[in-house]
């Protein structure tokens, strides 16, 4: 295989490749065997038709096109490696000659990594900022990290503010269940009802696992079609979990 490289610009090269006739013949033979398995030829089992019969049936042109389609990517990869090109995109092929009995000739235009001289960086200096951190800032970050990696442990006691409960919630409008206001095995953090003014928080606070509580609530404006609709809820507390920092 012979290769030559022409630099079109800083990031594009044209790779000219010549492949020996023997390798081209082998590629055409492989393509013929592949086509013979897919093309039905009367009197021959799939893959058993001789090449001359296959050529008379499908034509020489399609056979050469199939051979080029299968062989060119491999020829190109070999040529790019031998030329030590750092390619960064797919090539565009231009086939000049691809026939059995002849050397194949084609070009591949492809984008490559640009070459440049690394500037002198040994003398560069970057000013290091003089950080001023108060103890409160450090503690705030530590508390944030502890919260982020906290784990939940199941506890055998009534739910407190800051606990999580696994709860099955059923919302009804009259006697009809409202699916959008219901859910099974929901993990919910119990907050202070004095701050949230939430009927759910007030009902769950002080409830143990196995407890069933009922309450009435009116979803807020972010509840879509249920906003402003008074619903009756039943909550079954399955687990109470305390946060372990």
Query: pLDDT tens digits for 170-187?
Result: 999 999 999 999 999 999
Any idea which residue has 């009804």 for tokens?
Answer: 172
Cα(14)–Cα(7) distance, rounded to whole angstroms? 6
- Residues in Cβ contact with 226 at an 8 Å cutoff, skipping those fewer than 6 apart: 178, 180, 181, 219
**159-171: per-residue pLDDT in tens?**
999 999 999 999 9
Answer whether 204's CB lies under 8 Å from 190's CB.
yes
Residue 75: is its pLDDT beyond 60?
yes
Task: Tell me if 106 sits within 8 A of 48, measured CB to CB.
Answer: no
Q: Quick one: pLDDT at residue 32?
A: 79
User: 125-147: per-residue pLDDT in tens?
Assistant: 888 888 888 999 999 999 999 99
> 43 falls in which pLDDT band (50, 70, 90)?
low
The pLDDT assigned to 164 comes to: 96
| pLDDT value for 114 | 87
């Amino acid at each position: 295989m012979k290769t030559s490289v022409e630099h079109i610009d800083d990031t594009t090269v044209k790779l000219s490749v010549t492949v020996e006739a023997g390798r081209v013949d082998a590629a055409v033979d492989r393509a013929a065997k592949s086509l013979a398995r897919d093309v039905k030829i009367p009197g021959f089992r799939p893959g058993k038709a001789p090449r001359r019969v296959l050529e008379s049936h499908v034509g020489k042109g399609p056979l050469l096109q199939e051979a080029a389609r299968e062989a060119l990517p491999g020829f190109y990869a070999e040529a790019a490696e031998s030329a030590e090109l750092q390619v960064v995109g797919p090539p565009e092929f231009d086939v000049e000659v691809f026939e059995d009995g002849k050397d194949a000739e084609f070009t591949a235009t492809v984008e490559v990594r640009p070459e440049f001289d690394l500037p002198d960086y040994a003398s560069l200096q970057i000013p290091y900022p003089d950080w001023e951190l108060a103890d409160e800032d450090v503690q705030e970050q530590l508390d944030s990290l502890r919260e982020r990696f906290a784990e939940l442990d199941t506890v055998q006691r009534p739910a407190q503010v800051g606990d999580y409960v696994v709860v099955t919630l059923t919302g009804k409008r009259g006697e009809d269940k409202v699916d959008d206001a219901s859910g099974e095995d929901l993990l919910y953090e119990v907050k202070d009802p004095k701050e949230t003014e939430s009927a759910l928080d007030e009902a769950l606070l002080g409830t143990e696992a196995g407890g069933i509580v009922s309450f009435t609530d009116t979803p807020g404006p972010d509840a879509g079609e249920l906003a402003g609709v008074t619903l009756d809820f039943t909550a079954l507390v399955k687990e109470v979990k305390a946060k372990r920092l």
